[in-house]
Structure formats: structure tokens, C-alpha cells
Amino acid sequence: MALTTITADLPGGARAEITADQVSAHFAIAPQLMVFDDGEVRYAERHPFLLIHIPGGRPVTDTGEGIDLRRLAELLEALPIDWDQPDPTQACVPHIPQIAQVLVQAVITDDDPASVVFV
């Protein structure tokens, strides 16, 4: 898609405007920032990117152990959840099993990720 500026939640309750790569209508990939005790903000080194819910600015997950964030965004968008809400938590609750399956599908494996199906 395109670069976008979003207001994102940071650790410790801080918020910051960051530039992110919008990969779907409601999700963007952004650098993971860490806030240290002295207030310094630095990029995370171990898992450098996050998938962020754009309307709310909340992180969904980081790159973790081989998670394809673009694929995850695509799979989350396909769920029957109103992602336009700033806080879709309540809308997500009935779909926890599907969200868990989507996370499994987004993990990069030796197999073609497109061939993985819901269990």
C-alpha cells in the first residue's frame, strides 16, 4: 500500500507519531520502539517490527518467531470483525479461536504459507 503516519502506543503508556507501512485497510507494519527508564526511545533489535492496528494505534504482535506480518494482516482483515473501531477488543472476543488459527497460519514455515488451512 503506502507509508502512513499513525499515533502508536509505546511501552510504559507513552504514545508517539510514527511512520508505518500500511499493508491493509486497518493494519500497518512499523518499527518497534522501546522506551527506557531514562526516557530514551530506541529501536528494538531482537524483533524490530510490529503489526499495528491503525485506528487504535495498538500493537497486535511483533515479528516474533517467524511471523509473516503482511500475511497476518491479510488474514485478520478476512475475519468478521469491525476493525474500524479504535478499540476492537470486544468485537474480537467471540473470534478468539479464529484469531489463534490466523496466528498459526501467519507463522513462516518451510511449506508454502498459502497452503496452510484452518484446522
- Residues 76, 53: Cα–Cα separation, whole Å: 10
Section 52-72 average pLDDT? 86
Averaged pLDDT, 51-62: 89
Q: Where are the extended beta strands (E) located within 1-119?
A: 2-9, 15-22, 27-31, 33-35, 41-43, 49-53, 58-62
Residue 25 clears pLDDT 60, i.e. is over it:
yes
Mean pLDDT over 71-90 rounds to: 92
Phi and psi torsions of 114, nearest 5°: -70, -15
Delimit the domains of the chain by residue range: 2-115
Share of the chain above pLDDT 90, in %: 37
Check residue 110 and give its pLDDT: 53
User: Is residue 45 over pLDDT 70?
Assistant: yes
pLDDT-above-70 percentage for the chain: 89
Which stretches within 26-78 are classed as H helix? 69-78
Give the chain's mean pLDDT: 83
Measured distance CA(104)–CA(119) in Å, rounded: 10
